[in-house]
Amino acid sequence: MSVIDTIKEQIESNDILLYMKGTPRFPQCGFSSRASEAVMGCGERFAFVNILENPEIRAELPKYANWPTFPQLWVKGELVGGCDIICEMGESGELAELIKEAAAASGDAEAE
């Protein structure tokens, strides 16, 4: 499987996915720390990929996403944005709404 196929599979199989440096509990950069805190603040489970442990994804995702930086938040297969966008949405309440909708939709799918 190519790196792009791996990225596509990760995005398709996780309704809420954060590509970041480090992990939510141990972020390895300030931007990833702020972004993961904003997502965790929404109170829903989410998947993450530590790009520091996945150099191929780190190299290919910016080209695939047409977004040059990390972190990157993907919800329901759509790129939401990076740290500034995530944090702005977190402050306005828009992020919690988006994440809760995605989590509820995935919960409905699992119950069927």
Q: 8-33: buried (b, 16+ CB within 10 Å) or exposed (e) per residue? A: eebbeebbbbbbbbbbbeebeeebbb
Q: Is 15 annotated as a binding residue?
A: no
Place of tokens 């954060």: 18
Q: Is 42 annotated as a binding residue?
A: no
Q: Is 87 annotated as a binding residue?
A: no
- Burial class from Cβ neighbours inside 10 Å (0-12, 13-18, 19+) for residue 91 reads exposed
Q: What are phi and psi of 89, to 5 degrees?
A: -65, -35
Reply yes or no: is the peptide bond before residue 62 cis, omega within 30 of 0. no
Binding-site entries: 21, 29, 58, 70, 83-84
Known binding-site residues for glutathione equal: 21, 58, 70, 83-84
Residue set of the binding site for [2Fe-2S] cluster: 29
